[in-house]
Structure 1
Amino acid sequence: MKNLTAIALFVAAGIATAGSALAQDHKVTATVPFNFTVNGRTLPAGNYTIGNESNTPRILSISDREKGIAVMATTVPDNSVSADNKLVFHHYGNQYFLSEIRTANSSMSCHLTTSKQEKWARAQAQEASVRVNSDVLIALK
């Protein structure tokens, strides 16, 4: 009976450990040299940590500890694999909008939804006959 109890406890501990190992966070860092917009909020240039948790892969957190900035954004996962890790920004005039995260292992690859602010900026750029949607890429660390 003692052996059966010991085995049950061992199995329970193994399952608990496996569950916490699967729920590890995915995080990357990037230095963004310009102000940019995420989810309708403009963020200053800086050193950002970007991540999500495996149990909530559609929610992305973007933060700069030095400046006390933290933003959450809903994303659409993208299972494609990129050759290198990078952030993709849409650029209209002097405005930059975070659009995608591309990673080599696809664990964080995603698209951000287009905000009303970005749609307005795109329309303004088209109306002014400015080149629309020239992507800017920033390498992830």
Structure 2
Amino acid sequence: MKKNLLSLAMSLALLMSAAAQAQTTHIKVTVPFEFAAGNVQLPAGKYEVEAMGPWGGPALSVHNLNSNAGSVVLSSSCRSQKPTAHAKLVFYHYGHEYFLAEVWNRNSFSGSQIKINPRQKELAKNRSKDEVVLIASEN
């Protein structure tokens, strides 16, 4: 009985730790160019990006702090070989158009990869992409 309780307590602690990590996406960054987040075109400016829902999850809020511009984007989890040194946003750049592609928390092996919108898919067929990384601050 004691063994089962200890195992249950350890499992619960592990689940709560994973949930706490998922909640930590809350970063601020200045984006110096216009970009697409999901299917919404957003102006350059100061942005706050945070996970939505009680345990994070696939939805991210991308909100301009100087205007009412914003978007909710769906994401999937992605992983890196080593933890990121800084919170960051990764944009894919095709010609003169930028698309929010990934969101990473500081000291994390996992990030959020934004679903590709139809315009980005169209541009990717005919052009090579560049990556633009912006370092963010965490709250």
State the TM-score bracket (shorter-chain normalisation): 0.7 to 0.9
Map 1:99-110 onto structure 2 (within 5 A). 99-106=101-108, 109-110=111-112
Distance 2:48 2:41 in 1: 16
Q: Residues 107, 67 of structure 1: CA spacing in aligned structure 2 closer, same or farther, 3 A cutoff?
A: farther
Instruction: After TM superposition, give the deviation of residue 69 of structure 1 in Å.
Output: 1.4
Identify the residue that residue 74 of structure 1 maps to in structure 2. Answer: 74
User: Conserved in 2, the CA contact under 8 Å of 1:51 and 1:108?
Assistant: no
Which 5+ residue runs of structure 1 have no aligned equivalent? Answer: 1-17, 126-131
**Root mean square deviation of aligned Cα:** 2.4
Partner of 1:51: 50
CA distance in 2, matches of 1:91, 1:79: 21
What percentage of aligned pairs have identical amino acids? 28
Change (3 A) 1:133 1:83: same
Assess if the C-alpha contact under 8 Å between 2:77 and 2:110 holds in 1: yes
Based on CA coordinates, which of the two structures has the bigger radius of gyration? Answer: 1
By how many angstroms is 1:51 displaced? Answer: 0.3
Which segment drifts farther, 22-31 or 91-100? 22-31
Q: Report the CA distance shift for 1:28/1:48 in structure 2 as closer, same or farther (over 3 A).
A: same
In the TM superposition, structure 1's runs of 4+ consecutive aligned residues that sit over 4 Å from their partners are: 21-25
Q: Deviations over 1:52-106 (max 9, x none)?
A: 1442421100001321112101100235431222111100000000100122243
2:129 to 127, 133, 136: 133
TM-score normalised per structure 1: 0.72
Shift of 1:108: 7.3
C-alpha distance in 1, partners of 2:86/2:56?
A: 23
Q: Which SS does the other structure have where 2:25 is aligned?
A: strand
1:27 aligned to 2:29?
A: no
